[in-house]
Copies of this chain bind each other. A is one copy, B any other.
Amino acid sequence: MDSTREVLAAAASRDGLAVEFGDERGGAATYLETGEPLVTGALERFRNEYDAVLKGPVGLPEVRKPDGTEAGVLGGVLRNALDTYANVRPVRLLPGVRDSASPIDYVIVRENTEGLYLSRGSGVRNERAASDQLLMTRVGVERIVRFAFETARARNGAPSDGVRRVTCVDKSNVLRSFAFFRDVFDEIAADYPDVEADHRYTDAAAHDLVADPGHFDVLVTENFVGDMLSDLGAATVGGLGTCPSGNIGERTAYFEPVHGSAPSIAGQDAANPTSQLLTAAMLLDHVGATGTAKRITGAVEAAYADGAVRLNPNGTPTCGTQGVTAAVLSRL
């Protein structure tokens, strides 16, 4: 996060853009101190005072609530309280990271407020059994599918065959909730004749994102499935350390790297700040500072393209966190 603030401030000042930072505490440490995962009043300030929110990784796997789920996980709290229904996760292979038969450049649009995660913290559990519910509502599916088609229209990327498409990822062959998702998808798709409406079952999508990633442009899917597919996609482009994300609602948005907090390497100058940097660029783009967003993205790409940044097999940068930061700063 330090690295990103430095880059963001430098890029903004090149463009004469005034950026004011506020700080709000949240996550596992905050939960341990206060019993709540987010400081009081922060949600209100996110809604009313800030233009957008840049979130760092904040969880600690061992800090758990009595029901066994993790306490410091802010995603559910923020995504539902702010109704940021679209979790936007671009997966893009940066230059020099690895060889690939086709370019990898697609966006996973993950529904963020319902699906299996609606159950978060409200599932049933006793000694003999436990259950969670996967719920799809018409309103929820319609808005995420429209968001996906709008994303396909707006974005610059195109899959290897040059056909703009949205792929609906579902398990409609087995589950009624997913059959519903697919039917609503097909209805909405009719409003976008300029974009190909494509389908993959969840298992086939998991296969094809590995075997044929060049096929994909925009994918739209349920919350839990999107969670898995975006980590899978990240693995094909050098790891979570290169993948940004945005959580977008009608009125509020927050942005965060796809990766978690990696407490085992914290403070060792080992983490790859690329995802957090590209996340800041997504944020800037969202608030209309498109030029500054491009400045950061361009500098990151240049640093990879000319070999200043190289990744170890485990996804950490050979030059360390500060090395990446310096490389990007000098290319802004």
Contacts and interface: CB of A to CB of B under 8 A. Distances in A.
Copies in the complex: 2
B73 A224 contact: no
Interface stretch (A144-152, A173-181, A273-281, A320-328): A173-181
Interface string A120-140: 110111011111111111110
Contacts of A182: 68
Given A133-B133, A202-B228, A229-B206, A59 B173 contact: yes
A134 B133 contact: yes
Q: What range describes how many residues of A lie at the interface?
A: 35 or more
Interface string A230-245: 1110111001100000
Contacts of A123: 175-177
Given A131-B135, A134-B133, A240 B207 contact: yes
A203 interface: yes
Nearest to A199: B61
Interface of A: 59, 61, 67-70, 73, 76, 101, 116-117, 119-121, 123-125, 127-139, 171-183, 202-212, 224-225, 227-232, 234-236, 239-240, 313-315
